[in-house]
Structure 1
Amino acid sequence: MPHQDGPAYYPVVAILSLGSPVVIDFTPHPNLSCPVGAHGNSAEDKISDQEAAVMNSCEWLDNFHPFSIILMPRSLLIFKDMVYSDYLHGIKDSEVHGCNGAVNVTNVQNHGVVQHSSGSVKGLDSDDTVICRANSRVSLTCRVVTKVYKSIFKF
């Protein structure tokens, strides 16, 4: 499910991926979309979360576009700044991930995990590239803790 990490992870998120490769999707926050035909990026053009959920067609405001990244086993993804604050991120709960639009798909094609869809997967054509999740995925999300109370742990 697409989400934003809370303030405990601010300003940087570091994710170490282990196990099966997956595609992580980044989508601009719904406040950064506007109805088709509405242009500009002033504060008045931004919409609420509820309005964004109801809309069937929208355009992203300038410089905010959805993108995906393939996370290979033993990979480290670090994101901060605009990606941290202005995007939702998530991994689809599916055994097959479409990866045509992944920004690094050409980099991972030599690793043998990217294949062409058989066309039997709902929503994918036979010429789409996919990653099949054969194993479980384990990830470690790291953060910097700015304040630690010494009295929390008493051994």
Structure 2
Amino acid sequence: MELDKFRVESMPPSCYYIPEFITESEEKLLLHNIERTSVVRWTKLKNRRLINYGGIPTQKGMIAEDIPSYLQSYLDKVNSLKIFGDVEANHILLNEYTAGQGIMPHFDGPLFYPTITTVSIGSHTILEFYQSQDMTRDVCFKVLVEPRSLLILKDELYSCYMHAISEVDEDDISDVLIKNKRSSEQEICKRGTRYSLTIRNVPKTTKFKLKLGK
């Protein structure tokens, strides 16, 4: 797949947006498997809940764990794009956002290879970008993230811009700050429950658990 044709214009040249990266049937199967996941597997936060697959990234590194079989093919599909340099993705963060939930401006930070790839299913969202040095946090630009799409952020967008999702129930996709698929007329889209598969590489990884002494 030639990524250049999916580059989002009028942004730093390190944002790629691929609509319909997965099929509707794949989306339905993913939603089915996620809904079957035991509630005890989820970590509940104030504005979302999440599951780490592949291990828990920490400053000391990550002890690698198996990726569930129903997710492995999507990790492989992202790896086939060769966007992580000489390494491959080895971690999936599954997030659930219900309508009205979001996340504050943040960096993904140094625990990961400086590339984010996100497959979205279930509903759309709007991802907002902020310059890290701008403490007033005015939005620089936005990207409409649709169900079944793949969003890739790397280089300058990873290191120099924070990203966020506003806590709103609906979005005006005619917003002039939306750089990829803005509607020419006012169009309000109501949010539903969205799941994001954030697929990344954790460089510092071990495959074996250390044995603790007595």
- Structure 2 length normalisation: TM-score? 0.44
Q: AA paired with 1:102?
A: I
Aligned length: 106
Aligned equivalents of 1:8, 1:15: Cα separation in 2: 17
Displacement over 3 Å in runs of 4+ = none
Report the 3-state secondary structure (helix = DSSP H, G, I; strand = E; otherwise coil) of the residue aligned with 1:17.
strand
1:80-129, CA deviations, whole angstroms, 9 ceiling, x for partnerless residues?
A: 111001111011111112331211234xx5xxxx973xxxxxxxxxxxx4
CA distance in 1, matches of 2:106, 2:120: 18
Supply the AA of the counterpart residue of 2:205: V
1:130 alignment partner in structure 2: 188
Structure 1 residue 150: Cα displacement: 2.4
Partner of 1:69: 143
Q: Which has the higher contact order (CA 8 A, sep 6+)?
A: 1
Pair 1:115–1:17, CA change in 2 (3 A):
farther
Equivalent in the alignment of 2:179 = 103
Unaligned runs of 5+ in 1: 34-51, 59-64, 117-128
Query: Aligned residue for 1:27?
Result: 130
Quote the RMSD (CA, aligned, Å).
Answer: 2.7
1:147 aligns with 2:211: no
The aligned runs of 1:2-41 (5 Å cut-off) are 2-29=105-132, 31=133, 33=134
Call closer, same or farther: CA 1:72–1:7 in 2, change over 3 Å: same
Task: Label 1:115 to 1:23 Cα distance change in 2 as closer, same or farther (>3 A).
Answer: farther
Q: Percent sequence identity over matched residues?
A: 35
